């Protein structure tokens, strides 16, 4: 029975990684399970897109409100106004800092630069996976994975992730500084696929608004926004809809 479950799990992992593209400033890549490394994307089409930090612009805003319901209304009203691009795909994540204080992280992808983004059903953020994998962070952590080396730290109650380029000045400072003294965690290539699979089936990424590309699932819906800053007040915005697990699994039935 255990062997049968393992076989099903391995098939599911293989299926998922055949449908994943990872994108950064250099282009689109896939992950080769047999060679356990990044490779050229095997096909021009996939269902899941994982965004590296260089593929989007992000920033945080703090809000002091009475409830999360009130906060969601505020975010919905001003969502489009933050985009630095004429047309963008937008995501955001809400995190409570303390009583009445919330942090919203906005992510904007330039559709002029990545026009094929609209073909994907799911849009995930790599840094969100890293945070999920390492769990709660109280001390700085230097993470090595098959995709990137990253520095993770908790600041003002929120977890921040930044890329560390190989042989960069930042890497040398982090490795040499006794003040930082980061914990070193390695996500080995042979374990990466399984850990990402656990992240995927945990559905924790549903907390990232915009991870489900509703325009791809339901063509009548729109997730692409036109920046009022660039286009004037056209009345266009993000339509918000159901983004729950039932909608995801039953709506298209492509999982497993």
Q: Render pLDDT for 115-160 as a digit per residue (tens, 0 to 9).
A: 999 899 999 999 999 999 998 888 889 899 999 999 998 877 778 8
Judge whether residue 87 has pLDDT over 80: yes
Judge whether residue 206 has pLDDT over 70: yes
Q: Within a 13 Å sphere around the CA of 167, how many CA atoms are in the beta-carbon half?
A: 0
62: helix, strand or coil? strand
pLDDT digits (tens, 9 = 90+) for 94-116: 888 888 888 899 999 999 999 99
- Return the closest-CA partner of residue 210 out of 102, 132, 117, 135: 117
| DSSP class per residue in 101-133 | EEEEEEEEEETTT-GGGGG-SEEEEHHHHHHHH
Round the average pLDDT of the chain to a whole number and report it: 80
> Where does the pLDDT of residue 177 fall: very low under 50, low under 70, confident under 90, or very high at 90 and above?
low
Q: Which sign does the torsion angle of CA 247, 94, 107, 41 carry? A: negative
Break the chain down into helix, strand, coil percent, rounded to 5: 35, 30, 35
Beta-carbon contacts of residue 4 (< 8 Å; ≥ 6 apart): none
- Return the closest-CA partner of residue 212 out of 91, 108, 87: 91
The pLDDT score that the predictor gives to residue 79 is 78
Burial class (CB in 10 A: 0-12, 13-18, 19+), 121: buried
């Amino acid at each position: 029975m255990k062997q049968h479950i393992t076989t099903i799990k391995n098939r599911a992992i293989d299926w998922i990684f055949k449908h994943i593209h990872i994108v950064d400033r250099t282009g689109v890549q896939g992950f080769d399970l047999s060679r356990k490394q990044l490779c050229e994307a095997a096909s021009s089409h996939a269902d899941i897109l994982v965004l590296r930090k260089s593929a989007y612009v992000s920033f945080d805003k703090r809000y002091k409100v009475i409830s999360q319901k009130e906060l969601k209304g505020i975010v919905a009203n001003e969502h489009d106004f933050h985009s630095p691009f004429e047309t963008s795909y937008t995501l955001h994540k809400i995190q409570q800092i303390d009583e009445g204080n919330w942090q919203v992280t906005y992510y904007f992808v330039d559709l002029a630069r990545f026009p094929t983004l609209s073909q994907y059903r799911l849009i995930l953020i790599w840094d969100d996976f890293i945070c999920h994998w390492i769990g709660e962070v109280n001390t700085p952590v230097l993470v090595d994975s098959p995709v990137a080396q990253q520095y993770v730290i908790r600041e003002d109650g929120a977890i921040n992730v930044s890329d560390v380029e190989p042989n960069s000045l930042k890497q040398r400072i982090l490795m040499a500084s006794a003040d930082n003294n980061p914990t070193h965690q390695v996500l080995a290539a042979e374990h990466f696929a399984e850990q990402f699979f656990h992240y995927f089936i945990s559905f924790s990424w549903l907390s990232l608004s915009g991870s489900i590309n509703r325009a791809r699932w339901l063509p009548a819906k729109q997730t692409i926004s036109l920046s009022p800053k660039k286009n004037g007040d056209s009345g266009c915005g993000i339509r918000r809809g159901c983004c729950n697990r039932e909608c995801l699994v039953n709506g298209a039935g492509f999982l497993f």
